[in-house]
Amino acid sequence: MSASADRPGQDPPSPPLVRTEGDRRTLEFTPGDIQSEMRLSRPDDLVLAYARAMMCFALFAPDPRHIVMVGLGGGSLAKFCYRRFPRARITVLELRADVIALRAQFHVPPDDARLRVLHCDASAWLAANPGLADVLLVDGFDAAGLPPALSSARFYADCRRCLRPDGVLVANIFTYDPDYVAALQRLRTAFGGRLAWFRGIAGNNRILFAVRPRPRHATPGPAERLLGRLARPGGFGWSWTNRLLARAVLAWLSWRPV
């Protein structure tokens, strides 16, 4: 996760806090509130359940050409995608320079032909870059929760436009966030109801999957067809099977030939 833009009237954000205990290194924006976690012995592994759940986008897009991420945090998602999707370009949008400055401590590779970490406002970047992404991972928070700039109707509409047809959006939202219900409805509206999630896959983190449909009258793509089979009012499946599914997806990505 990463912090987003400051809200009007808020004090400036506190500097990010890095803690190292044994083999464990964490990133926190407020003491005790872990935003990202890494094992020093295996820095590319995904430790937190929500991060593993977000990788279920591979069910919809197993071989993406371009992955765009909103929020760098400790770089867990960026590192995993960089290693496990070697044919994909990865663009990370991060508002806070002090978070980007920590990338070496969290073993995030330097920028190269495949990886770029941009110091920018994500909402402005998405609005200016339509039709570029096969996968869009939205994982941005501030100290108060889900920032309005990353959960507005306009933002979700820009997310849809940034995706290629049959591209998939993955959004991480806390179910106890005061704006959760409204944000869910805005996201559902932006994607024409094409929205699904796996019940209980990551505790209080709800990982939402949405797909940009292909043009009208075109045959639905594989991602849209799969999402249609998974869509349920209360989420798909059972908590324990979904957590096993997330681990199975990671195992498949780790061992599949590339």
Q: How confident is the model over 76-91, as pLDDT tens digits? A: 999 999 999 999 999 9
Number of structural domains in the chain: 1
Specify the pLDDT at position 1. 47
Averaged pLDDT of the chain: 93
Specify the pLDDT at position 115. 98
pLDDT at 10 over 80: no
Q: Nearest CA to 147 among 249, 4, 2? A: 4
**How many whole angstroms separate alpha carbon 129 and alpha carbon 209?**
21
Please check whether residue 1 lies inside any domain of the structure: no
118: three-class secondary structure by DSSP: strand
> What Å distances lie between residue 89 and 75, 78, 84, 112, 117, CA to CA?
15, 11, 12, 10, 11
Please check whether residue 210 lies inside any domain of the structure: yes
Confidence of residue 147 (pLDDT cuts 50, 70, 90): confident
Residues 52-61 pLDDT 10s = 999 999 999 9
Sheet holding 17-21, edge to edge: 17-21, 24-30, 33-39
Please check whether residue 3 lies inside any domain of the structure: no
Check if the beta carbon of residue 92 is closer than 8 Å to that of residue 72: yes
What CATH number should be reported for the domain holding residue 156? Answer: 3.40.50.150
> What Å distances lie between residue 171 and 51, 81, 86, 154, 167, CA to CA?
11, 16, 23, 15, 13
Please check whether residue 36 lies inside any domain of the structure: yes
Residues 115-143 pLDDT 10s = 999 999 999 999 999 999 999 999 987 66
Residues 205-250 pLDDT 10s = 999 999 999 998 899 999 999 999 999 999 999 999 999 999 999 9
**How many whole angstroms separate alpha carbon 210 and alpha carbon 193?**
8
- Residue at token pair 């209360």: 234
Specify the pLDDT at position 14. 81
235: three-class secondary structure by DSSP: coil
Domain residues for the domain of 161 are: 17-255
Q: What is the DSSP letter of 59?
A: G
Confidence of residue 97 (pLDDT cuts 50, 70, 90): very high
Please check whether residue 12 lies inside any domain of the structure: no
Please check whether residue 88 lies inside any domain of the structure: yes
**How many whole angstroms separate alpha carbon 236 and alpha carbon 231?**
7
pLDDT at 176 over 50: yes
**How many whole angstroms separate alpha carbon 49 and alpha carbon 249?**
13
Specify the pLDDT at position 12. 67
pLDDT at 108 over 70: yes
